[in-house]
Amino acid sequence: MLYLVCDGGGTKTDFLLFDEKGNVLAADRQGGANANFIAPQQAADAVFEGISRCLSQAGASPADIRLTSLFIPGFRPAMGLLEARLPQMEFRQAGDEKNAFYAALGLPYGIAVLAGTGSFATGCSRDGRSTKAGGWGPLFGDEGSGYHIGVLCLARLARLSDQGRAGSVLEQEALRFLNLEDVPALREAAYQPDFTRARVAQLSRVVAKAAALGDEDACAILDQAAAELAELATVVAARLGEQDLPVSLTGGLTAMGELFCGRFRTKLSAVLPRSTYVPAKYTPVIGAALCVLSEEAGVDIHSAELLQNLLQKEKGDTDVDG
């Protein structure tokens, strides 16, 4: 029996087709599928294309798939469009909290903080209670996310320009990435249709590069983002009433490596000193597969053979903005 999972967000959507033993038969990546930020038709097209490519790679038909699980926040407006194109398939749509938890911890309890294009924290107590913080979207949330870092970058560039301070590493890298001559050009460029949420989130890569080169403003932005994410973990810990849970950071921003994960650890130890930082064990799409295998197929996801099968084809190529 075959299963297909989709892990999506504002920037990209990953697909994995596998059997109950964790053997990966196909994988694919498409653009973002959160219909809160793109047209429902565009979201449905992205998921349809990813599913079709996986079926083609595996030489399978829709009837061979027992369940297709969509871990895609905001996809509900596009669900009917997708179902109309694939009426033979059974779909289950959810957000991305559960697979983030499975991906980050590989444990039945703890706190997973996800930082990709957006951000949130989800946690489960030792006695099985669960809660979530964040995930409110870019208008009044997503602190510490790739999008938030991009906004902070733009705001810092504007402030430096107003102060007559030009030529920083951050400015040079950002202008090169945006293909602009100078910072004042942002007054027009930032309000064009192609200056999307995903585009702003990609500026997190620019900030990471500038911070690695020692730019003080870029370093300050990463410090602020890490502090916001650590605060999400403290909110979840307080609601669960357990201050000593393991905490893991997952999502695209972890691709920055120690440059960002180290900052998160430092901020976390300051605000939640009894917690233990645990590096994320798997990518979110592998977390999606583990969630489905555990909750739908009823298999032991701690089996060494199953994990080896799942990870054999996993490339771990998470994007900073994912």
Q: Give, in order, the Cα–Cα distances in Å from 168 to each of 159, 211, 215.
A: 12, 11, 7
In a domain, 322, yes or no: no
User: Which pTM does this prediction carry?
Assistant: 0.79
Same domain, 159 and 238: no
In this prediction, residue 191 carries a pLDDT of 96
pLDDT (mean) for 19-42: 94
DSSP assignment letter at 297: S
Please compute the mean of the pLDDT values over residues 257-281 and round it to a whole number.
96
Indicate whether 286 pLDDT > 70: yes
Binned at pLDDT 50, 70 and 90, residue 106 comes out as confident
Whole-angstrom distance, CA of residue 269 vs CA of residue 202: 28
The torsion of the CA quartet 32, 3, 135, 46, rounded to 10 degrees, works out to 10
pLDDT of residue 200: 96
Do 230 and 137 share a structural domain? yes
The pLDDT value recorded for residue 305 is 92
What is the predicted pLDDT for the residue at 315?
A: 46
Average pLDDT over residues 248-256: 93
| Average pLDDT value for residue range 127-148 | 94
How high is the pLDDT of residue 1?
86
Assess whether 130 and 268 both reside in one domain.
yes
Q: Do 292 and 189 fall into the same domain?
A: no
Looking at residue 314, its pLDDT comes to: 58
Tally of CA atoms within 13 A in the half-sphere of 44 that contains its CB: 15
pLDDT at 319: 47
Whether the pLDDT of residue 321 is over 50: the answer is no
The answer to whether residue 116 is domain-embedded is yes
**Which tokens belong to 249?**
């950071």
Query: Residue 320: its pLDDT value, please?
Result: 43
Question: Residue 188: CB partners within 8 Å, gap ≥ 6?
Answer: none
131 contact partners, CB below 8 Å, separation of at least 6: 122, 123, 236, 239, 240
Write 180-187 long-range contacts (CB < 8 A, 24+): 183/157, 183/158, 186/154, 186/157, 186/158
CA 306, 294, 319 angle in degrees (round to 5)? 70
Q: Indicate the helix (H) or strand (E) that contains 175.
A: helix 169-178
In this structure, the number of other CB atoms found within 10 A of the CB of residue 147 comes to: 29
What number of helices (H) and strands (E) belong to the chain?
Answer: 11, 10
Residue 184 has pLDDT above 80, yes or no: yes
Q: Which of 100-109, 223-232, 291-300 has the highest mean pLDDT?
A: 223-232
Claim to verify: residue 137 and residue 229 sit in the same structural domain: yes
pLDDT value of position 313: 65
Residue 320 maps to a domain: no
Instruction: Point out the least confidently predicted range of 64-68, 157-161, 217-221, 304-308.
Output: 304-308
Average pLDDT over every residue of 203-207: 97
Question: For residue 44, how far is the Cα from the chain centroid?
Answer: 19
Cα gap 171→228, rounded to integer Å: 24
With respect to residue 318, please indicate whether it lies within any of the assigned structural domains.
no
The whole-number average pLDDT for the span 136-150 is 95
Regarding whether 269 and 165 lie in a shared domain, the answer is no
Structural domain includes residue 319 = no
Count of domains in the chain? Answer: 3
CATH code at position 43: 3.30.420.40
Do 216 and 230 lie in one domain? The reply is no
The residue range of the domain holding 301 is 2-100+282-312
Q: Do both 6 and 76 map to the same domain?
A: yes
Same domain, 54 and 191: no
List of residues 6+ apart from 301 with CB closer than 8 A: 102, 290, 293, 294, 307
Confidence of residue 68 (pLDDT cuts 50, 70, 90): very high
Residue type for position 55: L
pLDDT of residue 185: 96
**CB 206 within 8 Å of CB 174:** yes
Q: Poorest-confidence range of 96-100, 110-114, 304-308?
A: 96-100
For residue 84, is pLDDT > 90? yes
Say if 58 falls within a structural domain: yes
What are residue 31's DSSP bridge partners? 12
Task: Check pLDDT > 90 for residue 39.
Answer: yes
Res 139 pLDDT > 60: yes
As a dihedral over the C-alpha atoms of residue 145, residue 149, residue 154, residue 160, rounded to 10 degrees, the angle is: 150
- Coil, helix or strand at residue 15: strand
Most confident of 31-35, 225-229, 282-286: 225-229
**Mean pLDDT for the chain overall:** 93
pLDDT in tens, 190-201: 999 999 998 999
